[in-house]
């Protein structure tokens, strides 16, 4: 065999020299037609060694088109007012959960109000002033930062999360006034994709900004191996690095907007955008509000 290869190299050096770059060109070209962009040949080599896939939840495992499912109020509050205030704040946000709330208010024919002193708090929610009232909508972390007690809303929120819902609390003038539940259906193709990745020997890790209960509910349905929840965007690079510290070669699927910084690596798709792919590093990317 060694003699045969030696003769081949001596007799056909040009053919062998062209074979590798041509195969790379064909492979990257085929990938591009499928929406997968590959940075260089080293990235292809590293991808063969990947043993862990980190994935975002919203828009990657799910459709990324959440819908309003329920509005729960504290005693004395009106559901339509809670929804209208929440939608008024969320109208300025581009997050899919915000779009679901605004669409839910529109479906009920609710009028939205102008918002002053608007502030977006990444990974937590938004605040603003509406009709002389200080209003906030966001997750549990936001209300904790504002020193607002959840009171009777806490057990109802946990029940919704256990069913896979994402819950956002609405506070008015420093008091919890209600919560809004949103559901984002899992894609029809997700379960099969995860089974195929498991068959290839990959461990699947879901990295999400959502509540742990909601994240675990989705993970159980899909057979995901590990869940890292309540991760802020600026914490995602560290989450990927922790996996690498375990000796894992990590890739990630998510949108560009939810990826860690350039030091973390490569990426995928979350809301129908074309995938950015691999830079050849041993670390790749990370995703949510």
Beta strands 67-73 and 175-183 are antiparallel
Q: Which residues is 214 bridged to in the sheet?
A: none
CA distance 251 to 234: 18
Compute the chain's Rg from CA coordinates.
23
Q: Could you say which DSSP state residue 186 is in? A: B
CB atoms within 10 A of CB 57: 29
Active site residue 56: yes
Distance CA 254, CA 237 (A): 13
Active-site residue identified among 56, 184, 210, 279: 56
Cβ-count burial 116-144 (b if 16+ within 10 Å, e if not):
eebebbebbbbbbebeeeebbbbbbbbbe
3-state DSSP assignment of residue 173: coil
238 Cβ contact list (under 8 Å, min separation 6): none
> Helix 13-33 to helix 2-11 angle, to the nearest 10 degrees?
90
CA angle 90, 118, 64 (to 5 degrees): 25
List residues with catalytic annotation.
56
């Amino acid at each position: 065999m060694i003699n045969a290869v030696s003769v081949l190299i001596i007799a056909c050096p040009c053919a062998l020299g062209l074979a590798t770059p041509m195969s790379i060109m064909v492979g990257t070209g085929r990938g591009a037609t499928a929406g997968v962009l590959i940075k260089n040949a080293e990235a292809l080599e590293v991808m063969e060694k990947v043993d862990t896939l980190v994935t975002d939840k919203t828009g990657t495992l799910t459709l990324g088109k959440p819908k309003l499912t329920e509005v729960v109020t504290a005693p004395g509050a009106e559901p339509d007012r809670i929804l209208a205030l929440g939608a008024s704040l969320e109208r300025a946000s581009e997050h899919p959960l915000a779009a679901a709330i605004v669409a839910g208010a529109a479906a009920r024919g609710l009028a939205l109000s102008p918002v002053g002193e608007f502030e977006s708090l990444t990974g937590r929610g938004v605040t603003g002033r509406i009709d002389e009232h200080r209003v906030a909508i966001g997750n549990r972390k936001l209300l904790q930062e504002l020193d607002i007690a959840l009171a009777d809303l806490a057990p109802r929120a946990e029940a919704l999360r256990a069913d896979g819902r994402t819950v956002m609390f609405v506070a008015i003038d420093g008091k919890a006034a209600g919560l809004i539940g949103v559901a984002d259906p899992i894609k029809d193709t997700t379960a099969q994709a995860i089974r195929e990745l498991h068959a290839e020997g990959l461990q699947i890790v879901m990295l999400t900004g959502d509540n742990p209960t909601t994240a675990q509910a989705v993970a159980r349905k899909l057979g995901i191996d590990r869940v890292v929840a309540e991760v802020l965007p600026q914490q995602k690079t560290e989450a990927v690095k922790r996996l690498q510290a375990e000796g894992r070669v990590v890739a990630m699927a998510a949108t560009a907007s939810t990826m860690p910084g350039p030091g973390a690596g490569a990426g995928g798709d979350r809301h129908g955008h074309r995938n950015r792919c691999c830079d050849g590093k041993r670390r790749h990317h990370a995703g949510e509000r």
